[in-house]
Amino acid sequence: MNNELKKKVKAFAPASVANVSCGFDVLGFAIDKVGDTLQAEATSYPGVIIESVTGPGNLSTDPDKNICGVIAKAMLAKLDLHQGVRIRLTKGILPGSGLGSSAASSAVTAFAMNELFGNPFTEKQLVEFAMLGEKLASGSAHADNVAPAIMGGFTAVRSYEPLDIFKIPVPNELYCTVIHPKIEVRTELSRNILKKQVELKTAIKQWGNVAGLVAGLYSSNYDLIGRSLTDYIIEPVRSRLIPGYFELTQNALLAGALGCGISGSGPSVFSLCKGHETAKKVADAFTEKAVLLGLPFDIYVSKIAEKGARIIDNE
């Protein structure tokens, strides 16, 4: 613990891919090059002021209705400080993209607040604070996005009660290619359409894939990783919300992807690939099919980001 208080901090938290096909609400990984940036300044008077929110989306600056405000207020209350904070958020991720937009905002707030007030909280506690933002955004306090956004790499949530999270080693040549069709799928909607019960034989197949994926990551067994990237429970329902989902994933597999799936609640679609060259070929395959389908889109090619939330400019 570092008890040194700072006047200002500027932090970044990356986008993330959650669920990773078979691991609904328990698996996720961070990606590079895109994320949210937050500047936090300590004030001598109590309360949270959200000075500005810039970037895509139309988010409230009311601290009771904004993810950053809710988390900052909870952390200040826990610290019992007679101080406050002024926040400026720059969104780099479109809300409703399936790339952990709310999670990046939640993660960067929890991380920046911790840095600002001398790092009084553990990494696990930061995840718990960030989960408050996820609850506000989607009605569910899940950690599959906020955990990698804070911790970096590939993470698994073993338990929610009590919270138990661990990192999974990532093979050196593992890359991710993500296509983001520029349509919005709200997390709350995509959760509401899911079935409340699953047949035992379906659950058994899903558990097998979770075990296979984790084992493949630990052993750098790319073939096992690919065989495990099948979702029998969520994808059959949510894929109906994504135009051209089947065509996009089939094109990616033909281009050499290990496997594909829906990133979070969608509409973004991810693929895992062995090597940068294959990841670029998959990006071309996604692009080709999206153009034919008439979909506006963004493409990201990234290694699994080793670093999660971090200071980028200590003012």
- Read off the pTM: 0.92
* Nearest partner of 108 among 36, 18, 48, judged by Cα: 36
For residues 35 and 121, state if they share a domain: yes
User: Mapping DSSP to helix (H, G, I), strand (E, B) and coil, where does residue 31 land?
Assistant: strand
Domain boundary residue among 134, 168, 202?
Answer: 168
Residue 2 covered by a domain: no
Domain boundary residue among 121, 152, 168?
Answer: 168
Q: What is d(CA 66, CA 53) in angstroms, rounded to the nearest whole number? A: 10
154-160 and 163-168 as β-strands: parallel, antiparallel, unpaired? antiparallel
**Active site residue ranges:** 134, 187
For residues 93 and 64, state if they share a domain: yes
Side chain identity, residue 120? P
Side chain identity, residue 136? L
For residues 155 and 254, state if they share a domain: no
For residues 204 and 144, state if they share a domain: no
- The per-residue pLDDT for 96 is 84
Report CA Rg, the chain.
19
Residue 1 covered by a domain: no
Cβ partners under 8 Å of residue 150, min gap 6:
13, 107, 110, 111, 123, 126, 127, 130, 308, 309
Q: What is d(CA 166, CA 23) in angstroms, rounded to the nearest whole number? A: 14
Pair 93, 87: CB distance under 8 Å: no
End-to-end CA distance of the chain: give it in Å, rounded: 21
Residue 315 covered by a domain: no
- E strand or H helix at 293: helix 276-293
Residue 199 covered by a domain: yes
- The per-residue pLDDT for 185 is 66
Side chain identity, residue 298? D
DSSP letters along 37-83, please?
EEEEEEESSSEEEEEEEESSS-----TTTSHHHHHHHHHHHHHT-S-
Distances (CA, A) of 229 to 136, 172, 268, 281: 30, 18, 16, 19
Residue 279 covered by a domain: yes
Q: What is d(CA 23, CA 104) in angstroms, rounded to the nearest whole number? A: 20
Residue 309 covered by a domain: no
**Per DSSP, what are the bridge partners of residue 225?**
none
For residues 147 and 296, state if they share a domain: no
For residues 149 and 236, state if they share a domain: no
- The per-residue pLDDT for 315 is 39
For residues 119 and 185, state if they share a domain: no
* Nearest partner of 99 among 163, 23, 36, judged by Cα: 36
Q: What's the structural domain count of the chain? A: 2
By residue range, what is the domain housing residue 115? 8-168
Identify the DSSP state of 197: -
Side chain identity, residue 246? F
Per-residue model confidence as pLDDT tens for the chain (315 residues): 555 667 999 999 999 999 999 999 999 999 988 999 999 999 999 999 999 999 987 889 999 999 999 999 999 999 998 899 999 999 999 888 899 999 999 999 999 999 999 999 999 999 999 999 999 987 878 899 999 999 999 999 999 999 999 999 999 999 999 999 988 666 666 667 777 899 999 999 999 999 999 999 999 999 999 999 999 999 998 888 898 999 999 999 999 999 999 999 889 999 999 999 999 999 999 999 999 999 999 999 999 999 999 999 743
Q: Could you tell me the CATH number of the domain that includes residue 86?
A: 3.30.230.10
Could you give the dihedral angle defined by the CA atoms of residues 250, 16, 58 and 124, in that order, rounded to the nearest 10 degrees?
A: 150
